[in-house]
Structure 1
Amino acid sequence: MHTRSTSRRPSPHRARLSRTRATARLLAPLLTAAALLVTACSAGGTTTSKGTVNAALATLPRPTPSALAPYYSQRPHWRSCGVSGFQCTTVKAPLDYAEPGAGDVRLAVARKKATGRGKPLGSLLVNPGGPGGSAIDYLQQYAGVGYPANVRARYDMAAVDPRGVARSEPVQCLDGRRMDAYTQTDLTPDDGKERDALVAADKKFTESCGAHSARLLRHVSTVEAARDMDIVRAALGDRKLNYVGASYGTFLGATYAGLFPERVGRMVLDGAMDPTLDARRLNLDQTAGFEAAFQAFAKDCVRHADCPLGGRGTTPAQVGDHLRSFFRKLDAHPIPAGDADGRKVGEALATTGVIAAMYDEGSWAQLRGALNSAMKENDGAGLLTLSDSYYERDASGRYSNLMSANTAVNCVDLPPAFNHPEQVRKALPQFRKASPVFGEGLAWASLNCAYWPVKATGEPHRITAEGAAPIVVVGTTRDPATPYRWAQSLAHQLSSGRLLTYAGDGHTAYGRGSACIDSAINTYLLRGTPPAGGKRCS
């Protein structure tokens, strides 16, 4: 399988398959996973029991440095754009914060003005995750029209595509045809020849990114994106940042809080990431998270007459065995999918399709149907649809830059999970234990940053954000992409963190059907009253 991303991706309302889901920080390839940061040199830090306090994440001074004053004094020109009621503009930020005069990046910003009466609460910036998910698409397709009416009535709903993403000078790597080949790369190599093919695919991807986006690659860290958000906050005219971030968006928001704690307004971090973890642990935890989600799917599947992986009395372990057996068949003999470009569904695309459905239990019925067609009718169209949704590939064969940006941010934020195929081979037992179904593929997917043309500038670290207003951290107990313990850890690290728990399935919790969760978050956004720490909903 070649799921080039996972925890940093699928965010809550990003491709929810049924509507829009959050983009967890796609970890490694499927998983180009989660977390961290800065630019310039890899600054040293103080090691603690919970990770490294990175010197580059030290709280920034309140006064705006004179070199940055022109960026903070921008008065953007707004124009109507896209969907009715939305306005767009561009804002400049320095390419390199260490050398503000060395060039700029242009950031795309969108907003929808508050729609109702009552005291305005300023702007509410939203980010769906990724890294690589378009916040503007999320705003226009979901948040700006689907957030609760009373929230939209009081807030100007706003979004900025982070540097390197979508409309903000996107990182470019492979074209559509070559991305098709890349997403079909075998991530469960059976011999040296297949391992060499996997390594060659990763190297070709990274070389293409370096060739097309050399200027940006060193400057797409989460720290830089968080600093950009402060410039956007000023451009929007807000004294403090009100923010809802999902999945990787929680890491972006927490990073902002660490840099600018006294500028934190009402902040919600839904489907939280743990910045103290290194890339290998993030990928391993996420692998276990997808296994837990699959176990829940398996228990549900066998209750339905159309479950192709077993009937009543079949255990989740047996369901997993049946699925692995099917994947092995596809590895040897891909099946047709009626694709105009001639693609067939092999193990890689099928695995991506299954993983895509794990983000939202509302997609389980769709997955059962896709597996039925594939296993009983030799028709892979349903699985291909799920996989294409995950990768953001349209019917014409074009991909968004999600996967390119995802890899670029992940590989600069953290040192690689693995530096050599032999390291992956030695780690396979650990990953298979974490997930008998997905472990092997996700382990090999974790190799992609090994060949990245730019060295990582970030490292695992704690974020405390001393002095910040209350920050609501939301965790879902059976979240596949951002395991619940990550939310527990982040809420504990943040000096003002308040943990809000959703006992359920799926990735993220806000706006996914829990009246308890939605009420707690809406009350906080509208009144500034956070839920009591430890509040639990189901």
Structure 2
Amino acid sequence: MFKPRKATAAPKLRTLLPVVIAAVALLVTACARNTDPVAPPAPTLDRYYQQTPAWGSCDGYQGGAELGAAGIECARVLVPIDYGKPDGDTARIAISRLRATGTRVASLLTNPGGPGAPGLNLPLALAKSPVAERLDLIGMDVRGLGASTPHVTCRSAAEYETGQRVLGRTNPLAEIDQVEQENEDYANSCARRTGLTLLQHVGTVDVARDMDVVRAALGEQKLTYFGGSYGTRLGSTYAELFPDRVRAMVLDAPVDPTTNIGDEVITAAGFQQAFDAYAADCAKAPDCPLGTDPKKANENYRALVDPLIQHPIRGLNYGGVTTATIASLYHPSSWPDLTKGLTELAKGRGDALLGDATTYEDASSDDVHRAVLCLEEVRVTDRAVAADIVRRSRTAAPAFDDGIGNADTAAPLDACAFWPVPPTAQPHVPKVAGLPKVVVVAVTGDPATPYPGGVTLAKTLGAALITYEGTQHGAAFEGIACVDRPVLKYLIDLTPPAEGLRCAKP
């Protein structure tokens, strides 16, 4: 039976009631919170850094048969396309490995340059050099290229061939409109076929971050790296991002970090210097197709190639012969082939030069090359500025002044002016606090990356500079003992070369 409580208890209950209500409210709130779903942790890069490559046959990779025959293994490493979204779309980076033949020191990640040069076969090119004895040689096809997936695709191979057009000499303003329309169409095609996400993330910073994932996948605490040409821009960028993760770094044929990767005026001057050296060497022979007076070489070369602007020879047009000539100027070993090709051209044939032109580039490499430059070079969006660049380039390289169009007041804007994604990097002085000693190798007569850029890069990185006196693109692992010995010693035991080391041509 219910019994009424004593009246004296009522005041005490009334006093405790607010406390009880508050306690119940807190309990209810806590219970409600416990029923809410727990927020997932923010995505991280752990799964990329913790992977182990599944090394195996190179079958199915570009050039796989040749790699396999040399004992090279291949694998792919997973990376995020956008490092800001680790749980987003991914890419697979193809890597290759040639194991050290002797006592192994480390893995040497390599890059041949470009942008847009496949690197999977670089260990094959270095297989007979002394570096192959003590280091595992690692090749890599950068994102968007070669055996790595997905690809940057702007044109088919057939469209690439069709695009190698030569403009006429009439109605230059109409030509400017036509060229700009083609360049805009090309940029739009890149966006449509590649996708904006990948197109925005094929630049140097993203590739440098891929390199760090590869380093971790190889089981290396720190990176040992060799990069040539544009590969030096990759190296200096990695050094900026991860200075404390560098063990050793050799940067050969260096790109000036404070200029555009492919600065037209600088490279024009470099190739003219190499052309002058070639012409002087060729002139020693009485049957040189440019004559025996080096001072007339520019004029004689123009007389050979200019007719191709209007009258190609069996598929060899003006652009093809210029491409073949420039390709031959990278190294003196190609000068005899250039002489042979120009001699044939003087007789109305172009087979040799056509072969050199078609092996120098392909559509995929060219598309990646353009994509990286558009992401990282200072864009020109003013026709007058474009014209000034053309004028200065022609002045710097008279041998390659085609005289096409009218650059006095305007010149067409290139594809980068219409690029569908914004720049992701710009030329600058690297900031590399805490970077260990690295090595820069620069050639006094380098046509593609002129010597002053190497001096600048060495200074900004606090690097040891090896200077080679010659005319070629890069000097490391070329069989030049004065260069290779100190480079190898540095890579093996981290002893840097003597300051101010200069090597003359043997």
Cα distance change of structure 1 residues 515 and 192 upon mapping to structure 2, 3 Å threshold: same
Q: 1:345 touches 1:384 (CA, 8 Å); kept in 2?
A: yes
Question: C-alpha distance in 2, partners of 1:491/1:128?
Answer: 19
Question: C-alpha distance in 2, partners of 1:480/1:421?
Answer: 27
Structure with greater contact order relative to length (CA < 8 Å, sep ≥ 6)? 1
Q: 1:501 touches 1:537 (CA, 8 Å); kept in 2?
A: yes
Question: C-alpha distance in 2, partners of 1:374/1:348?
Answer: 14
User: Aligned letter for 2:51?
Assistant: Q
Q: Which residue of 2 aligns with 1:424?
A: 386
The farther-off stretch of 286-295 and 429-438 is 429-438
Q: 2:281 aligns with which of 291, 294, 300?
A: 300
Q: 2:339 aligns with which of 353, 360, 368?
A: 368
Q: Which residue of 2 aligns with 1:77?
A: 54
1:458-537, aligned counterparts within 5 Å?
Answer: 458-495=425-462, 497-537=463-503
Q: Which residue of 2 aligns with 1:157?
A: 137
Q: Which residue of 2 aligns with 1:125?
A: 109
Question: C-alpha distance in 2, partners of 1:424/1:195?
Answer: 11
Q: 1:431 touches 1:440 (CA, 8 Å); kept in 2?
A: no
SS in 1 for 2:443: strand
Q: 2:357 aligns with which of 369, 387, 390?
A: 387
CA offsets 1:90-122 (integer angstroms, 9 cap, x no match) = 111111112212221111121122222x3x212
Measured after TM superposition, the shift of residue 528 of structure 1 is 1.5
The answer as to 2:52 corresponding to 1:90 is no
SS in 2 for 1:102: coil
Question: C-alpha distance in 1, partners of 2:492/2:73?
Answer: 23
Q: Which residue of 1 aligns with 2:91?
A: 105
Question: C-alpha distance in 1, partners of 2:261/2:72?
Answer: 38
Question: C-alpha distance in 2, partners of 1:390/1:105?
Answer: 27
Measured after TM superposition, the shift of residue 326 of structure 1 is 2.5
Question: C-alpha distance in 1, partners of 2:461/2:177?
Answer: 43
Q: 1:275 aligns with which of 245, 257, 263?
A: 257
The answer as to 2:121 corresponding to 1:142 is no
1:210-225, aligned counterparts within 5 Å?
Answer: 210-214=191-195, 215-225=197-207
The answer as to 2:391 corresponding to 1:414 is no
Q: 1:428 touches 1:440 (CA, 8 Å); kept in 2?
A: no
Q: Which residue of 1 aligns with 2:294?
A: 315
Q: 2:264 touches 2:389 (CA, 8 Å); kept in 1?
A: no
Question: C-alpha distance in 2, partners of 1:186/1:510?
Answer: 40
User: Aligned letter for 2:332?
Assistant: E
Question: C-alpha distance in 2, partners of 1:467/1:122?
Answer: 21
Question: C-alpha distance in 1, partners of 2:170/2:111?
Answer: 36
Question: C-alpha distance in 1, partners of 2:368/2:47?
Answer: 27
Question: C-alpha distance in 2, partners of 1:290/1:190?
Answer: 30
Question: C-alpha distance in 2, partners of 1:445/1:154?
Answer: 51
User: Aligned letter for 1:414?
Assistant: E
SS in 2 for 1:71: helix
Question: Structure 2: which 5+ runs fail to align?
Answer: 1-41, 59-63
Q: Which residue of 1 aligns with 2:44?
A: 67
Measured after TM superposition, the shift of residue 513 of structure 1 is 3.6
User: Aligned letter for 1:346?
Assistant: N
Aligned residues: 447
Cα distance change of structure 1 residues 190 and 203 upon mapping to structure 2, 3 Å threshold: same
Q: Report % sequence identity.
A: 38
Measured after TM superposition, the shift of residue 66 of structure 1 is 6.8
The answer as to 2:167 corresponding to 1:200 is no
Question: C-alpha distance in 2, partners of 1:306/1:466?
Answer: 56
Measured after TM superposition, the shift of residue 227 of structure 1 is 0.7
Q: 1:453 aligns with which of 420, 425, 428?
A: 420
Question: C-alpha distance in 1, partners of 2:356/2:455?
Answer: 31
The farther-off stretch of 122-131 and 201-210 is 201-210
Measured after TM superposition, the shift of residue 432 of structure 1 is 1.8
SS in 2 for 1:322: helix
Q: Which residue of 2 aligns with 1:334?
A: 312
Q: 1:421 touches 1:447 (CA, 8 Å); kept in 2?
A: no
Cα distance change of structure 1 residues 132 and 482 upon mapping to structure 2, 3 Å threshold: same
Question: C-alpha distance in 2, partners of 1:187/1:309?
Answer: 26
1:28-39, aligned counterparts within 5 Å?
Answer: none
The answer as to 2:212 corresponding to 1:230 is yes
Measured after TM superposition, the shift of residue 332 of structure 1 is 1.7
1:428-443, aligned counterparts within 5 Å?
Answer: 428-438=390-400
Q: 1:353 aligns with which of 324, 344, 356?
A: 324
CA offsets 1:267-293 (integer angstroms, 9 cap, x no match) = 10000011111468x221111101111
User: Aligned letter for 2:370?
Assistant: T
The farther-off stretch of 192-201 and 476-485 is 192-201
Measured after TM superposition, the shift of residue 459 of structure 1 is 1.1
Measured after TM superposition, the shift of residue 315 of structure 1 is 2.9
Q: Which residue of 2 aligns with 1:240?
A: 222
User: Aligned letter for 2:302?
Assistant: R
The answer as to 2:383 corresponding to 1:405 is no
Q: Which residue of 2 aligns with 1:35?
A: none
The answer as to 2:251 corresponding to 1:288 is no
Measured after TM superposition, the shift of residue 147 of structure 1 is 2.5
User: Aligned letter for 1:67?
Assistant: T
Question: C-alpha distance in 1, partners of 2:412/2:338?
Answer: 22
Question: C-alpha distance in 1, partners of 2:167/2:252?
Answer: 33
Cα distance change of structure 1 residues 365 and 210 upon mapping to structure 2, 3 Å threshold: same
Question: Structure 1: which 5+ runs fail to align?
Answer: 1-64, 337-343, 393-398
The answer as to 2:153 corresponding to 1:172 is yes
Q: 2:331 touches 2:471 (CA, 8 Å); kept in 1?
A: yes
Question: C-alpha distance in 2, partners of 1:481/1:320?
Answer: 19
CA offsets 1:308-337 (integer angstroms, 9 cap, x no match) = 1112xx133x1101112323211121112x
User: Aligned letter for 2:216?
Assistant: A
Question: C-alpha distance in 2, partners of 1:174/1:485?
Answer: 36
Q: 2:107 touches 2:224 (CA, 8 Å); kept in 1?
A: yes
SS in 1 for 2:369: helix
User: Aligned letter for 2:52?
Assistant: R
CA offsets 1:113-152 (integer angstroms, 9 cap, x no match) = 2222x3x21201111001111110222x312x2332xx22
Cα distance change of structure 1 residues 504 and 190 upon mapping to structure 2, 3 Å threshold: farther
Q: 1:132 touches 1:165 (CA, 8 Å); kept in 2?
A: yes
Q: 1:184 touches 1:349 (CA, 8 Å); kept in 2?
A: no
Measured after TM superposition, the shift of residue 425 of structure 1 is 2.3
SS in 1 for 2:45: helix
CA offsets 1:237-264 (integer angstroms, 9 cap, x no match) = 0011001100000110111011111111
Cα distance change of structure 1 residues 439 and 243 upon mapping to structure 2, 3 Å threshold: farther
User: Aligned letter for 1:76?
Assistant: P
Measured after TM superposition, the shift of residue 441 of structure 1 is 8.1
